[in-house]
Amino acid sequence: MQTKDVISLADGKKIGRIVDIEITNEGVIEYFVVEMPRFFRFFRSGNEINITINQIKKIGEDVILVEI
């Protein structure tokens, strides 16, 4: 999963790459932590964004498409 680019369905832009996964005590994936490229950091505070399972629309060979 870490080698796949996370792409927004809204505009087709690269959001970043998965750097971590938050898992509950029950073993359920809560969200993926995506590190954003430097360019997007100017528009947001911090350099990471959390993507929930519900936001993931398609996982392909090279990319993960999300709706945020």
Residue linked to tokens 């911090």:
46
- Banded pLDDT at 4 (limits 50, 70, 90): confident
Residue linked to tokens 């964004």:
49
Residue 58 is part of which domain span? 5-66
Count the domains in the chain: 1
36 CB-side CA count, 13 A: 17
- State the CATH number of the domain containing residue 25: 2.30.30.240
pLDDT in tens, 11-62: 999 999 999 999 999 999 999 999 887 655 455 556 889 999 999 999 999 9
